[in-house]
Structure formats: C-alpha cells, structure tokens
Homo-oligomer: A and B are copies of this chain.
Amino acid sequence: MKEIVRIGIIGMSGRGSGTMQMLLSMPDVEIKAVCDLYPDRAEKAKLRAEELRPGTTVAAYTDYKRLVERNDIDAVVITSSWDAHGYLAVAAMNAGKYAAIECGGACSTDECWQIVRTYEKTGVPCMFLENCNYGRQEMTLLRLIKDNLFGEVVHVQGGYEHDLRHEIAYGHENRHYRYDNYLNRCGEFYPAHALGPMQKYLNINRGNRMLTLTSMASKARGLHEFIVKSKGADSPYAEADIRQGDIVNTLIKCAHGETMLLTHDTTLPRPYSRAGRVQGTKGIYMEDRDSIYIEGLSPNHDQWQSFAEYYNNSEYEHPLWTEFRTSGVTGGHGGMDYLVMRAFVESVQMGVEPPLDVYDGAALMAITPLSEESIAMGGAPVAIPDFTDGKWIKRGPAPKSKYALDTVNFDLFGV
C-alpha cells in the first residue's frame, strides 16, 4: 500500500483549482504538477499549490504529455473541458497512471471505447469522478434500494436542472467551454449527476445494462432571451444560432426492463434540482418534494413522508455518511466532492479498482453523443453499446471498500 499518492492535475479552471486545494487538504496526497492550455492558469495554480504546501515544488505545464510522462506521479486527475476527457484519460493510462475523469459527456462513442480498450490493454484503472454518487440523499437511497425497501425498482429518474445562463452566455469572456457546445450541439450534455447514482441503483454493468435510448429536445429560447436582456439586442451574441434545446429529455431502457428518465435543463430560470425519483413495487422517492412513501412503513397510507426522517436516521442513512457526519463533513457540494476524491485516492493507495470504474464511466459518457444522434434523427431509438463485451452478465460488485457503491459493507464502519 502506498502511504502517499502523488498526483498531477490537468485543467486548472475553477473546478480544477478547487479540486487541487481539496487534494492538498489531504495529508496523504502530494501535487507534483499542474497543466493548463492557458499558461497563466497553470502558473497561478502552481504558485497556489506551493503556497499551500510550503517548501514543495510543483511543475506547471501547458502540454499534458509532459505531465503524464513524469516518473514521480501515481495518478492524473482530469478537470479539463469535456471534449478533452477521453484522450487525456487514454494518455494517463498509457503512461501507467491511474486516471480520474471529472463529470462530462463524450463527443463520440468511440472516445468511450478508447478509454475502455486502453484500460483493458494496460490494466491501469480509470475512475469517473461522479460526486453525486456520494451525496447524502443518493447514498441513503442506495442503501434503501439494496435493503429492498423499494421492493423491485422499475423506474428511476433524475436531471441536471440548473440555471447556468450566466455562466454559458459569458463563456467567451470567462474562458468557459460550455457556450461553444450550446452553439453547436444539441443533446444530453451532462448526464452524470443523475445517471451515476441511477447506474448503481440498477446494477448497471454488474447484472444489468442500458440497452437503448430516445431523446427529445425543446426549442432553444432561454439563452437568447438572456443574452438580449443582459448584452442588448444589438450585441453580436444576440445573433448567435443556439442549437442546444432548453429542455432535453432522454428515456433509457435497461436489459431487465427498468426505465430511466434524464432531464437536462440549464437555460431557463429555475431553482436548482437533480430531480431524483425512484419507483419500486413497494415505494417511491421524489427529490423535488424531499419526500418518500414506502407502503407499510410510511406512517400514513398514500401520503408522503419527509425523506429527512431517513437520511437523518442512522437506521436508514448510509454508514459512510453517518461516519462522515460524526467526524465532520468537509469539501465542496456538501461533502460529496471530498468523498468521491477519497474513493479515488484510496483506490490508488490500495492498488485496486475504483468504485466507479472504466465501464461505468464509458457508459455514462456515451449517453451524450447517443442522445445527440437520437435528437438529430427525430427521436429514433439508438442502441447503447455494451462496453463490457458481455462481462456485465456475470460481473459481481466492485472490491469491498467503504466507498463501494454496489454493496454496503457495514463491517468496515465503526458507527
């Protein structure tokens, strides 16, 4: 087991810098190098890392190849723009370094195959950093599902429902890559937050798999109206031909007959939601009400019960969260950023497969180009590749760990 995990980070935007700072709060992690296409960003990150760990030297690159080839790095964390996730993960694995990919969808299914085939060739693991898999509500749901409280789960849904108009519209000014995607593509750009947890609820790649999807996009109006309002009708931005529909819904059918509904909703005014919903033969959960109803367990027939009565109760809460709450929650997005990164760091330390592996990541990232294809073909169903080449039928849970997402290993927790 490695005492210290030595990391390089590629992509030093807001997300990359935040991730670097969080990693530097972990005594068993060292940052050896940072990389960004913008030299000022790389330099700023280097100086910040050296400030946080006085006496250390951190290299700053604009060429990722120089970072991945270093001999003193165990793992590469990829917090770049979406379209670079695939080839950066491939480069890291080819150089023998564990890869960690931030949330985002692919541009082609072949990108996802490249990640899978590189893993299979090199044997070097790759983890998809879906933080929401470690959210308190999501982990509680995971435990309730594995404990059969919902009975047989037949349908799940979720979304990325987040008003990002300000970030997107000012993309060219603040170096954010979202805007160019919205100008040119139309699809389910950001399936990870909803689909990451769903995959684990439904045993995807481990006894089940996603078979087909259909997608439909509404017209695109929100961003244009926002631009006109904020930059003026005579701004050149107001003439932009925005392709991404305001609401994109994607329906996915699984091999064992379950359905999933994903919603992408980022260019209209609205309060934030991940719109989680789980339905089984014994009950239903609905995030937008923060409510649950379990037949025979909830106190009143056919009436919602506050979900807080579950995630605030160690009889139902996931033990990782009970431990985390007891020891003091830390890290961004309510703590889940910390937990997902610990899951990665500890997998590198132990030299084992991470809880969200290359197959989970590939299936997740592929939803984006597949949804684009379906929308482009008027909602035609498209097949989701089996990235496991049939191994999903007999694959069991990921290695036992506190961070496992296929089983709940109660014996690993002191609580």
Report which A residues bind B (CB closer than 8 A): 151-152, 154-155, 163, 212, 214, 216-219, 221-222, 225, 245-247, 249, 251, 253, 256-259, 261, 265, 268-272, 279-284, 286, 288-289, 293-295, 302-304, 378-381
CA distance A303 to B271 in the complex (A): 5
Residues of B within 8 A of A284 (CB): 268-271
Contacts A288-B289, A379-B251: A225 and B268 contacting too (C-beta < 8 A)?
A: no
Complex contact A279–B268 (CB within 8 A): yes
Complex contact A256–B286 (CB within 8 A): no
CA distance A381 to B214 in the complex (A): 9
Q: How many copies does the complex hold?
A: 2
Residues of B within 8 A of A271 (CB): 284, 293, 302-304
CA distance A303 to B163 in the complex (A): 12
Complex contact B251–A279 (CB within 8 A): no
CB-contact partner of A249 in B212, B218, B259, B283, under 8 A: B259
Residues of B within 8 A of A214 (CB): 214, 216, 251, 379, 381
CA distance A257 to B224 in the complex (A): 15
CB-contact partner of A247 in B218, B225, B256, B259, under 8 A: B259
Complex contact A258–B293 (CB within 8 A): no
Residues of B within 8 A of A217 (CB): 259
Complex contact A219–B378 (CB within 8 A): no
CA distance A212 to B216 in the complex (A): 10
Complex contact B221–A154 (CB within 8 A): yes
Residues of B within 8 A of A279 (CB): 246-247, 265, 268, 270
